[in-house]
Every structure is written in structure tokens, then in C-alpha cells.
């Protein structure tokens, strides 16, 4: 399902009943929240709560004061016409409109008012009649999950996915206010890992002066945040789990600070300033004796010391058997360009396998120890990062299972199989397959059938891991379009690798 609403880094300001049934007070809250949101330069939504009290409260309990919520809701009642006018003010302040309905009639009113987002409160997260109504109205939905078991959250996710609704989840603890030892912030990580395609947020009720929790929550992966908001006046006093504008300002500032400290998810190149600092602390490679041009340099011929000279070979790039590119006097720095001398095939294979291991670890995919591994390099190992794939055969009987791993920007040339029928399923990353000239872009979870004698090729931009489930895989059953590949003996375009664990145990010293 294509996404039309972006939940990422959405700040939700819950007005709840802090309007106190006073429209002028409510407008002042919205004005102040709008000001703080603009100054904080975040995407914000002001949230109402709708209950149609005439039907929401049982007739026998109307007017009673011994039930705190019946009493509070009745005393702070605000009519729907007032909310409609307030929604106009919310939009004028540059905020999205959002509302929590507690009954089906309120969902209809939300739609009539044209409010942007629906929020499901934790107490309603298992209210199936309400959820079914919300799912039918085609609006973005945010669901709080306080008090739910994991299997109940599983049901929620499956329900909204089945209804093809756009939704996000909020970790939440329904204690008002919430003590530090009850925040359970690790649940953010657990939910992110369990519901990988769903934005996970955090609805908070902790000490409103605390800023560390929002920073920890962001670091754990929360990408949506909610707080109750209000104003203290002579007439209306704010509760302990709602933020004043000043507290909101500090809260949003703490979010920005955490975001800056954490940086981006992809590892960026080292900055020139950082690189210079590191180089100044490294050791350079120096000649221990006079070395003649063309001489093979051994470990006993060099020593490592700081500082590193401009253009010098650092100790980390030294390897046994380099050939001197010129005469070196004793104590002279060896040139950095020596590191460009031919890298062995063994080192290339090790570098490839390390990258594959990292990709599998990131995708949380485990390999059976007796799996067979081969690096397929159609134009030679030196061009592997352009053309090729790593094939891990997990099972090969009357049925077979392989994992196919491609590094970023790799291509696999056109070929077909006479005997094998195979189905690909993308597990991680991006994959583009061309079959008989027809191109398809796959998303994780997608499957693709290739029957015998069908030409196919595939490629990736950022790297991919896909599963190949097939009939028995036979050697010499791959037939290539390019004559230069077709004429090459199989052993020349394949490099076999020891079984998974044995390989890395034996190569740690490379």
C-alpha cells in the first residue's frame, strides 16, 4: 500500500479536557501551542477529544459526581460547534487537526469537520466497533497501546493492515503522571523490531520538566511524540502531566538536540577535520635500512612510528611483500602509493565476505553452518563489485534453497536454466529483475517466478538479500547471453568459500 501521510517526527499536542469547557481559554492554548510549534520548527498537530456525552454516559449515571470521569467530562463539556470554530483557529496557527473519538458518532463528526488525523486512545485500542468505524473512513490513524499485551498489538497491526489503513503506533503508559521507573522506553525498540514497516511513537505522561526521556525515546527509534498541553491561569490550573508553553519549548529543544547528537542512520564519510585528527595520531611506515628500488620489502625492513608524513604509508596499510617503487634511505617514510600495489585474491574474497556478513547481520538472517558458499564473478574477481553475487546454498535436494546476496550497485547478467525452476523472494534491500525483457521492481516480501528457459537478469542499487527456492540446482545449468561468460569454464567464474563459521575463524588474521 502506498503511503500518503508521513507520521515521521510528528508532534501531537493533546488538548484533552484542558480547555475546561471554556472556548476563550481553549483558543489561548491553541495560540500558544502554535507559537511554540512554529518556533520549534516541527510538524505539529493539535488534538481534541470527542465524546457525545448524551449517549456516551449511561442514563443512570448522568449528573452523578461519584465517578470522577463522568464528573470531569460533564463539567468540561464543549459543544461541537465550538470545536469546529476551534479547528479553524488550529489551522490558522499552522497546525494539523487531530481528534480522539470515543464513540462512533464522534468519528462521523471528525469527518464532517474535515479533521486531518484520528487518534485511538489506549482505552479504545480493543474497542472493535469503534476500530471498525475508524478503519472505514480513510484517514491516517495513530493508536496508543498502553495496557495491551503483545498479542493484542499484533491483532491491531494485522487489523489496520488488512483494512489498508495508514496507521502508526504509540508506546504509552497510562499512569498520570508516569514515574521514571514505569516509562518502559525499551518497548519502543521492541515495537520497532516487531512492526518494522510501522512508525512507532511515544505518548508521554512523565514529569513535564524532564527532557531526558524524549531524547532517550528518539535514540531508541521513536519518531512521533505526544504530550498533553494547557495553560495555568488564575481560573484554570494545569495538571501535573500536561505541559505549559515553556515546558513544551524545552521539550522540543531537547528533541532537536537529540536528533543532532544522533546524526543520520547511514554511516557518513569521515569529515576532513576528523580525518586529519586521526592521521595525526597514527603511525607511519619507515624504512629501517636502506631499501633499493624493486626490492621486496619484508616486515624486518620497516618500523612504525609517529608522526605520519604527508603522502606516507600508514601502518594500517602496510602488508608483507610490497615492492619498493624507488630507493629509500634508512629512516625515510615509505610512500602511500605502495598501498595501491596488487591486492591478493584472498584479500578481495575476505573483504567481500566481511561485507556480506555485515549485510546478513543487519537483516538478522542466520546461516546454517554446513551451507556451501560461492562468489559468482562473471568477469573476474576484480570486477566482482560491478558484476556478480554471493550464493549461499542452504539446502539442495529434490528441492533447493539458496540465499543470493548482491552488494550495492551490482548486476547479474542475462542467463537462463534448462532444468531449474526458481522463485525469488526479496528479504531485504532493493531488487530489479528483468525477465524476457519485462522489468519489475521488487519490495521486501515480493516473490517472482522464473521458469526453465526464461531469460532473466537482476540488479540492485543499495544492495539486497533474496531467497531462491527452486527445484534441484545443478552445476552447468546456467546459460549466459554474453559469449565471453558462456565460453568461460565454470570454475573460472566461481570462487568457493569454506563453510560459514570455519571461514571467518580461519581468516581473522588477514
What is the rounded CA–CA span in Å between residue 309 and residue 329?
Answer: 15
Is residue 70 very low, low, confident or very high in pLDDT (cuts 50, 70, 90)?
Answer: confident
Is residue 110 very low, low, confident or very high in pLDDT (cuts 50, 70, 90)?
Answer: very high
Residue 267 lies in a domain: no
Residue 415 lies in a domain: yes
Mark which of 233, 262, 291 sits at the end of a domain. 262
Which tens digit of pLDDT belongs to each residue from 339-391? 878 778 888 998 999 999 999 999 999 999 889 999 999 999 999 999 999 99
Q: 118, 116, 120: which is closest to 91 by C-alpha?
A: 116
Is 69 buried (19+), middle (13-18) or exposed (0-12) by CB count in 10 A? exposed
Give residue 509's pLDDT: 46
Q: Are 118 and 134 in contact (CB under 8 A)?
A: yes
Asked whether residue 233 falls in the same domain as residue 191, the answer is: yes
What is the rounded CA–CA span in Å between residue 22 and residue 77?
Answer: 9
Percent of the chain residues topping a pLDDT of 90: 81
291 forms beta bridges with 328
Asked whether residue 137 falls in the same domain as residue 239, the answer is: yes
Asked whether residue 187 falls in the same domain as residue 288, the answer is: no
Q: Are 84 and 26 in contact (CB under 8 A)?
A: no
Asked whether residue 14 falls in the same domain as residue 136, the answer is: yes
What is the rounded CA–CA span in Å between residue 510 and residue 497?
Answer: 15
Domain that includes residue 203, residue range: 10-262
Asked whether residue 279 falls in the same domain as residue 300, the answer is: yes
Contacts for 303 with CB less than 8 Å, ≥ 6 apart: 285, 286, 288
Asked whether residue 46 falls in the same domain as residue 181, the answer is: yes
What is the rounded CA–CA span in Å between residue 56 and residue 128?
Answer: 16
Is residue 320 very low, low, confident or very high in pLDDT (cuts 50, 70, 90)?
Answer: confident
Residue 145 lies in a domain: yes
Total domain count, the chain: 3
What is the rounded CA–CA span in Å between residue 499 and residue 468?
Answer: 19
Tell me what the pLDDT averaged over the chain comes to.
Answer: 93
Per this entry, what is the length of the chain?
510
Asked whether residue 195 falls in the same domain as residue 317, the answer is: no
Asked whether residue 291 falls in the same domain as residue 243, the answer is: no
What is the rounded CA–CA span in Å between residue 322 and residue 345?
Answer: 15
Residue 5 lies in a domain: no
Asked whether residue 227 falls in the same domain as residue 325, the answer is: no
Which tens digit of pLDDT belongs to each residue from 259-283? 999 998 888 888 999 989 999 999 9
Is the pLDDT at 506 greater than 70? The verdict is no
* Straight-line distance from the first to the last Cα atom of the chain, in angstroms, rounded to the nearest whole number: 46
Residue 1 lies in a domain: no
DSSP code for 137: T
Which tens digit of pLDDT belongs to each residue from 11-67? 999 999 889 899 999 999 999 999 999 999 999 999 999 988 778 778 778 777 777
Which tens digit of pLDDT belongs to each residue from 282-303? 999 999 999 999 999 999 999 9
Asked whether residue 75 falls in the same domain as residue 52, the answer is: yes
Is residue 120 very low, low, confident or very high in pLDDT (cuts 50, 70, 90)?
Answer: very high
Mark which of 308, 340, 372 sits at the end of a domain. 340
Q: What CATH number does the domain containing 288 carry? A: 3.90.1210.10
Is residue 328 very low, low, confident or very high in pLDDT (cuts 50, 70, 90)?
Answer: very high
Q: 160, 217, 140: which is closest to 227 by C-alpha?
A: 217
Asked whether residue 90 falls in the same domain as residue 221, the answer is: yes
Asked whether residue 435 falls in the same domain as residue 486, the answer is: yes
Q: What CATH number does the domain containing 19 carry? A: 3.20.20.70
Amino acid at each position: 500500500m502506498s503511503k500518503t501521510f508521513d507520521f515521521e517526527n510528528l508532534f501531537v499536542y493533546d488538548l484533552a479536557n484542558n480547555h475546561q469547557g471554556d472556548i476563550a481559554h481553549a483558543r489561548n492554548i491553541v495560540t500558544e501551542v502554535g507559537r511554540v510549534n512554529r518556533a520549534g520548527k516541527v510538524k505539529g498537530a493539535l488534538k481534541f477529544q470527542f465524546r457525545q456525552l448524551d449517549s456516551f454516559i449511561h442514563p443512570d449515571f448522568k449528573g452523578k459526581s461519584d465517578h470522577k470521569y463522568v464528573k470531569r467530562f460533564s463539567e468540561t463539556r464543549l459543544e461541537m460547534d465550538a470545536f469546529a470554530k476551534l479547528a479553524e483557529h488550529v489551522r490558522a496557527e499552522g497546525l494539523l487537526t487531530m481528534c480522539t473519538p470515543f464513540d462512533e458518532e464522534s468519528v462521523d463528526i471528525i469527518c464532517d469537520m474535515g479533521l486531518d488525523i484520528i487518534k485511538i486512545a489506549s482505552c479504545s485500542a480493543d474497542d472493535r466497533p469503534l476500530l471498525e468505524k475508524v478503519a472505514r473512513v480513510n484517514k491516517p490513524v495513530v493508536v496508543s497501546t498502553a495496557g495491551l499485551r503483545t498479542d493484542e498489538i499484533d491483532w491491531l497491526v494485522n487489523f489496520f493492515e488488512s483494512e489498508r489503513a495508514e496507521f502508526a503506533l504509540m508506546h504509552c503508559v497510562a499512569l498520570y503522571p508516569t514515574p521514571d521507573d514505569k516509562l518502559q522506553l525499551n518497548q519502543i525498540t521492541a515495537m520497532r523490531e516487531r512492526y518494522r514497516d510501522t512508525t512507532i511513537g511515544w505518548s508521554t505522561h512523565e514529569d513535564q520538566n524532564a527532557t531526558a526521556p524524549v531524547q532517550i525515546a528518539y535514540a531508541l527509534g521513536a519518531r512521533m511524540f505526544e504530550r498533553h498541553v494547557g495553560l495555568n491561569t488564575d481560573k484554570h490550573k494545569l495538571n501535573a502531566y500536561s505541559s505549559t508553553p515553556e515546558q513544551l519549548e524545552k521539550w522540543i529543544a531537547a528533541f532537536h538536540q537529540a536528533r543532532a547528537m544522533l546524526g543520520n542512520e547511514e554511516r557518513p564519510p569521515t569529515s576532513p577535520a576528523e580525518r586529519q585528527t586521526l592521521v595525526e595520531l597514527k603511525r607511519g611506515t619507515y624504512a629501517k635500512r636502506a631499501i633499493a628500488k624493486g626490492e621486496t620489502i619484508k616486515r624486518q625492513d620497516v618500523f612504525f612510528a609517529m608522526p605520519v608524513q604527508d603522502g606516507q604509508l600508514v601502518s594500517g596499510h602496510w602488508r608483507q611483500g610490497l615492492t619498493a617503487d624507488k630507493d629509500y634511505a634508512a629512516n625515510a617514510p615509505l610512500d602511500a602509493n605502495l598501498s595501491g600495489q596488487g591486492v591478493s585474491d584472498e584479500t578481495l574474497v575476505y573483504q567481500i565476505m566481511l561485507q556480506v556478513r555485515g549485510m546478513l547481520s543487519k537483516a538478522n538472517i542466520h546461516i546454517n553452518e554446513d551451507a556451501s558458499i560461492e562468489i559468482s564473478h562473471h568477469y573476474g574477481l576484480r570486477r566482482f563489485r560491478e558484476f556478480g553475487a554471493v550464493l549461499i546454498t542452504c539446502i539442495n535436494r529434490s528441492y533447493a534453497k539458496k540465499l543470493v546476496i548482491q552488494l550495492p550497485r551490482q548486476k547479474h547478467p542475462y542467463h537462463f536454466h534448462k532444468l531449474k525452476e526458481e522463485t525469488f523472494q526479496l528479504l531485504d534491500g532493493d531488487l530489479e529483475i528483468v525477465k524476457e525483457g519485462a522489468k519489475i521492481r521488487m519490495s521486501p516480501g515480493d516473490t517472482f517466478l522464473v521458469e526453465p528457459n526464461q531469460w532473466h537478469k537482476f540488479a540492485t542499487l543499495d544492495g539486497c538479500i533474496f531467497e531462491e527456492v527452486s527445484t534441484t540446482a545443478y552445476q552447468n545449468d546456467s546459460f549466459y547471453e554474453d559469449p565471453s561468460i558462456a565460453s568461460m569454464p565454470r570454475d573460472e567464474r566461481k570462487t568457493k568459500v569454506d563453510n560459514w563459521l570455519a571461514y571467518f575463524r580461519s581468516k581473522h588474521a588477514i
